């Protein structure tokens, strides 16, 4: 019964996403609980491929989720591109410019991926809404995550980071530097413990 309900909800949610936000939605999605997927700003776009699986319901994940999956662009012309067969659990993906996630990548419970600081760093300007902020150079940088990457639970991937195919990001890692393909990184700041 729950499966039938989930399929129905996924179907209507996808129709709504594509009609209201013009989000490109692939086929064969599995949504366990309702994610929050929002396009903010003129010219902003989100594309999510086929066989996308998103867990937003706490009971649907063996280690739970801290909240629903959040995928959102926050500024004009920002873009999020998610490939085929990507699985996400209770994570946040927030783009002010560009975030790409490659095919077959898995993103663990409570991971945070952002290409910006969400607030300006100058105290007097910090309280304005992110939609109105104009980030100075260096404060919004694209994040590119390759194919077959495994992002552990509660990992944080910061602006400007590129992660190569087949990399593994340890649980709780704070990734501020690029990760080569096939490498495993852990810790804060994330450091390589295994090369390809
Ligand atoms: C990073 C990870 C893949 C490494 O696994 P592994 O290759 O089997 O490595 P090991 O367990 O042998 O650990 C190697 C060393 O790194 C340490 N380590 C492992 N993961 C770590 C982590 N996330 N943070 C800090 N240190 C970690 C180990 O304690 C060990 O240290 P030591 O050499 O001093 O004893 C794994 O520990 C991990 O974090 N998995 C993520 C699981 C997860 O979040 N799943 C998401 C489900 S939604």
CATH number at residue 167: 2.160.10.10
Residue nearest to atom 4 of ligand 1 (CA): 170
Query: What's the 151 CA to ligand 1 centre distance in angstroms?
Result: 12
Tens digit of each residue's pLDDT (9 = 90 or more) over 28-71: 999 999 999 999 889 999 999 999 999 999 999 999 999 999 99
Residue nearest to atom 20 of ligand 1 (CA): 170
Q: How confident is the model at residue 190 (pLDDT cuts 50, 70, 90)?
A: very high
Q: How many domains does the chain have?
A: 1
Judged against a pLDDT cut of 90, whether residue 6 lies above it is answered with: no
**Mean pLDDT of all residues in 174-195:** 98
Neighbours of 18 (CB within 10 A): 12
Q: Which of 62, 87, 186 to mutate to test the pocket of ligand 1 (most atoms within 8 A of CB)?
A: 186
Known catalytic residue: 24?
A: no
Which residue range(s) make up the domain with 52? 2-194
CA-closest candidate to residue 70, choices 101, 36, 94, 47: 36
CA distance 35 to 157: 20
Query: What's the 141 CA to ligand 1 centre distance in angstroms?
Result: 28
Record the tokens describing residue 9, joined without a space. Answer: 């909800």
Q: What is the pLDDT of residue 92?
A: 98
CA-closest candidate to residue 106, choices 87, 80, 83: 87
Q: How confident is the model at residue 5 (pLDDT cuts 50, 70, 90)?
A: confident
CA distance 104 to 3: 23
Tens digit of each residue's pLDDT (9 = 90 or more) over 117-168: 988 887 877 777 777 777 777 789 999 999 999 999 999 999 999 999 999 9
Residue nearest to atom 31 of ligand 1 (CA): 193
CA-closest candidate to residue 103, choices 26, 44, 160, 31: 26
């Amino acid at each position: 019964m729950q499966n039938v309900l989930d399929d129905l909800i996924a179907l209507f949610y996808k129709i709504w996403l594509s009609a209201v936000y013009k989000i490109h939605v692939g086929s064969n999605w599995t949504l366990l609980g309702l994610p929050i997927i929002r396009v903010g700003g003129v010219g902003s776009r989100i594309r999510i491929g086929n066989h996308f699986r998103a867990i937003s319901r706490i009971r649907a994940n063996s280690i739970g989720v801290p909240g629903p999956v959040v995928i959102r662009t926050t500024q004009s012309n920002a873009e999020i591109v998610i490939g085929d067969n990507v699985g996400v659990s209770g994570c946040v993906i927030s783009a002010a410019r560009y975030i790409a996630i490659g095919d077959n990548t898995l993103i663990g419970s409570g991971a945070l991926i952002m290409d910006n600081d969400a607030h300006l760093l100058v105290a007097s300007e910090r309280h304005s809404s992110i939609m109105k902020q104009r980030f100075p150079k260096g404060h919004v940088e694209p994040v590119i995550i390759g194919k077959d990457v495994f992002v552990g639970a509660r990992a944080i991937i910061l602006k400007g980071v590129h992660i190569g195919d087949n990399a593994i990001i340890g649980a709780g890692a704070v990734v501020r530097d690029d990760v080569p393909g096939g490498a495993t990184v852990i810790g804060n700041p994330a450091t390589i413990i295994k090369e390809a």
